[in-house]
Each structure stands twice: as C-alpha cells, then as structure tokens.
Amino acid sequence: MNCVDDPRGTFALDRHAVARSFDRASASYDAAAALQTRVRDTLLARFDELDVKPAAVLDLGAGTGHATGALKRRFPQAAVVPADIAAGMLEQARQQSRWRRRFERVRADAYALPFGNASFDVVFSSLMFQWCDDLDAAFAEVARVLRPGGLLIFSTFGPGTLAELRDAWAAADGRDDHVNRFADPHSLGSALLQAGLAEPVLDVDRIVVEYDDALSLMRELKAIGAHNVTRDRARGLTGRRRLEAMTREYEALRRNGMLPATYEVISAVGWGSEKQRDLPGETLISPSAIKRRGQT
C-alpha cells in the first residue's frame, strides 16, 4: 500500500536517498528544525494523558536523539532504544546519551527492524512515517515488535503539507513531484488496521510557518534533510529560469510581508494486537542485548 494513489510509482521513495539525505543533514538538523521540535514536544506531552509504565521503548526514526533523551527522562527505569536509517543522525544522538540516562543506538530501516517479536511496550515515532511509501510494511513491523497491548504513538505529515511550494512548482514547470507526497488520515488509519494495530485514533492540526522568501524555506528543508527523494525525481541542478518562475508564483501568496508554508500534522495512537508476525530464519535482538552485541 503506497502513501498515495500512485499506480505508476511516480512518488515511490528511494530508501538509499533518504538515508544519504539525512546523513548529510545531521550536523545542521537541530539548528533548522524548529517546527520538528515543536511537533516532537507536543507528541511527548501526550504521555501526560496516557497511563503507561514501559520496560522497553523504541524511538523509531530517532534523528539526533532529543526525543530519546526526553523518553529516558520520563521513563528512567525503561530501556529506551533509538533507531534510525541514517548513521549520521545516530552519531549526533550520541550527545543526548548521559551516564544517568544512557542509551545505545541502532541503525535500522523501518521496513526491517532488527528486534525480536514483542520486544517493546511503547513505540514512539515523531515525523518519520512520511518517509515510508509502504505503510503496510512499516506498520506491520511496528505491530511485530510491539507487545500485546503496547502503545504506538506517532506523528507524521499529511497531504496538505507544503501545498504552497508544490503548487508554485507545478505552475512554474508543470511538474508536481518537486515535493514529496504524504499520506492522508484515511490511508494511515487503514494501514494501522491492516497491520492489526487496535483502536487507532488520529488527530489533524495545521501549522502555518512564515518565511521571508521561498528560498529561505528551501534552505531550511535542505538543512533538515527534507529533500525530494522520489525515485523518478528530476536529476541535476534546477534551472535558474524555472526557479525564478516558481518564486514568482509563490510571491502571489505574500501577506503582511511574509510567505506562508502550511504543515499538516497528523498525530496518532494505536495499540498492539494479541497476534504477532513471526519471521523465521532471521537474526533478531532484544533491547537488553543491544549493548552486549555492540549495535551502533
């Protein structure tokens, strides 16, 4: 199941490009990720409403590790494991690991998590699932590593995200693949149920961020690694004329001296099923074995 109705695979994501993009952005990410920080902190605050006492927590798509550190502070007795597809991000996450809240880092793809069945009481993920174009595969892995009755809590971007930038590019050169596509709440809910995750509840919020100009927005996206990583994306440098045409289109939206960029933020919770998917023949590890086996 793809994130959008896309039978030709136009918006299929290049997994290697995703990893490379976030590797390159790892050093600049935190300084540019104001919106991502806001979304992460809002998602973490939802634990105030949830009665969970986990022994093991997975921070999936952990990035530079700020959520991992916050989860370790919130659940000091739990094993908190950050996992990310980008080695550079995990290297930055080392800075969040302290002797009183130490954690080991695991490089992993959300489609093939290297953990045993029913390993975690909580799977937390802030703004990672938009980088998964096969939601069925990603949520099936979450369901597999989540213990029965365990909690999945995540945020992701919805289809209204960066609509202004997408429309400006489409008007400028007729291409609508300059901006990645994002799953809608219906697709997310269906994928959660397909994976066997119970009682999913999704909320949608829209955040408008203002920029001095379109190039400022594009520089920020580059700094956090949010490139266009579709397999069929245009290669090479964007021509000057096309860039100027895009910025002219975007300028029509200027209000009170600023340009808007909309982010549609979807947050969700779901619960682990009694049924677990077995993967015979694969070597899988438990959270308690991570340090001993030297995963990095």
One DSSP character per residue, 209-269 reads EEESSHHHHHHHHHHTT----BTTPPPSPPPHHHHHHHHHHHHTT-BTTBEEEEEEEEEEE
Q: How many CB atoms sit inside 10 A of residue 98's CB? A: 11
Residue given tokens 């920020």 in the structure block: 220
pLDDT mean across residues, the chain: 86
Identify the CATH number of the domain defined by range 15-161+181-209+265-293.
Answer: 3.40.50.150
263 strand-pairing partners: 207
Per-residue pLDDT band for 25 (boundaries 50, 70, 90) equals confident
Over residues 150-197, the pLDDT tens digits come to: 999 999 999 999 999 999 999 998 877 788 889 999 999 999 999 999
**Rounded distance, CA 128 to CA 84, Å?**
9
User: From residue 265, how far is each of 20, 110, 161 by CA, in Å?
Assistant: 24, 20, 8
**Rounded distance, CA 72 to CA 30, Å?**
19
Percentage of residues in the chain having pLDDT higher than 70? 82
Over residues 216-249, the pLDDT tens digits come to: 999 999 999 887 766 665 555 467 899 999 999 9
